[in-house]
Amino acid sequence: MKEKLEAIKTSALAKLEAATDLDVLNEIKVEYLGKKGELTSVLKSMKEVLPEDRPKVGQMVNDVRNVIEEKLEEVRNSFAAKLREEKMKAEVIDVTLPARKPDIGHRHPNSIALDEMERFFVGMGYEIVEGPEVEYDYYNFEALNIPANHPAKDEQDTFYINGDILLRTQTSPCQVRVMESTKPPIRVIAPGRVFRSDEVDGTHSPCFHQVEGLVIDKNITFADLKGTLAEFAKELFGEDTKVKFRPHHFPFTEPSAEMDVTCFKCGGKGCRFCKGSGWIEILGCGMVHPKVLKMSGIDPDEYTGFAFGVGLERIALLKYEIDDMRLLYENDTRFLKQF
């Protein structure tokens, strides 16, 4: 009996040692420890053993069972460890690989130029205000001293919603809204989108942006306007920039002017960029017309003020030497990333 048990033990251990996967392990388990297994059959043959020897043999069977179970467990654990190791190897992360950069786009030249303007004027104590893009005829024209028969009101220039309501053609209506609701002193800039019934080409778009400026206080003169806008031009185009005011006409200012800056490409000598003149026009401005002040409830005998209007695209195009306005609206990141 003893030899038989030894033989079972030896062969079981050898098979376990040679096992290569969990299925084989299970087969071995059934073969030796199962109900119809080798050890069970030994127990069944106990009746052939002398009664006084039975406890000893029983003990021997149990010992062999324990040895086989231990080995089984050991081999099973080694399989699990091997499996885990293989999985780790397969899923290894190479921390030295370069990371994939998220594409976060780029700020638009309009936004960069506007930020710069806002920073300048906020630094001078101006407030930034906004007005509606869908505006009343009254604010866009009437209250700015643009009467009913003015050519600017023509349907060829203006998108009308109905007789009284339109898409604003300028940011100047913001002036009226601010004057109606605020007591001077007033110092504001009003950036925003404006609309005109224009065909798209290299210098025109039916939708573009302006930045309006308005200052109202006691004793504001044309000298304040000139000083402010000359500083503004230096901020935008560099310390050496000079400015020139040419008489012009706007219905809401008197006197009115257009401001030119010395060409920042040639410094004023004349080049292809400034079409040989040495000067580049950048904005419209003037002293707020007394009629406009009065219509918005401000006494023109007590207060005076100046206003100006800048085309944002115009500044962005000039600053970054972009020669076609359409590029600003295509939002091609290959273009935008250059600024």
**What are the backbone angles phi and psi of residue 320, rounded to the nearest 5°?**
-105, 10
Q: For residues 241 and 253, which CB has a smaller minimum distance to ligand DAH in the complex?
A: 253
Residue 172 in the binding site for ligand DAH (CB under 6 A): yes
Give a three-class secondary structure readout of 74-117: HHHHHHHHHHHHHHHHHCCCCCCCCCCCCCCCCCCHHHHHHHHH
Min CB(213)–ligand DAH separation in Å: 7
Write out the two tokens for 202: 């290299």
Residue 228 in the binding site for ligand DAH (CB under 6 A): no
Instruction: Using CB positions, name the residue nearest to ligand DAH.
Output: 309
Min CB(287)–ligand DAH separation in Å: 8
Would you give the DSSP letter of residue 262? E
Residue 38 in the binding site for ligand DAH (CB under 6 A): no
Residue 286 in the binding site for ligand DAH (CB under 6 A): yes
- 105 Rama sector, left if φ>0, alpha if ψ -120 to 50, beta otherwise: left
Q: Which stretch binds ligand DAH (CB under 6 A): 66-74, 198-206, 232-240, 304-312?
A: 304-312
Residue 253 in the binding site for ligand DAH (CB under 6 A): yes
Among 75, 216, 280, 307, binds ligand DAH (CB under 6 A): 307
C-alpha 232/C-alpha 213 separation (Å) is: 12
Would you give the DSSP letter of residue 53? G
Write out the binding residues for ligand DAH, residues 152-171 only, by CB under 6 A.
170
Min CB(336)–ligand DAH separation in Å: 26
Among 229, 260, 309, 318, binds ligand DAH (CB under 6 A): 309
Residue 308 in the binding site for ligand DAH (CB under 6 A): yes
* Of 270, 273, 284, 292, the residue nearest 229 (C-alpha): 284
Min CB(106)–ligand DAH separation in Å: 29
Which H or E run contains 209?
Answer: strand 207-217
Q: Which stretch binds ligand DAH (CB under 6 A): 16-24, 116-124, 125-133, 301-309?
A: 301-309
Q: What angle do CA 277, 338, 312 make, to 5 degrees?
A: 50
> What is the DSSP secondary-structure string of 172-203?
THHHHHHHHH-PSPEEEEEEEEEE-----SSS
Chain residues binding ligand DAH by CB under 6 A are 170, 172, 212, 250, 253, 284-286, 307-309
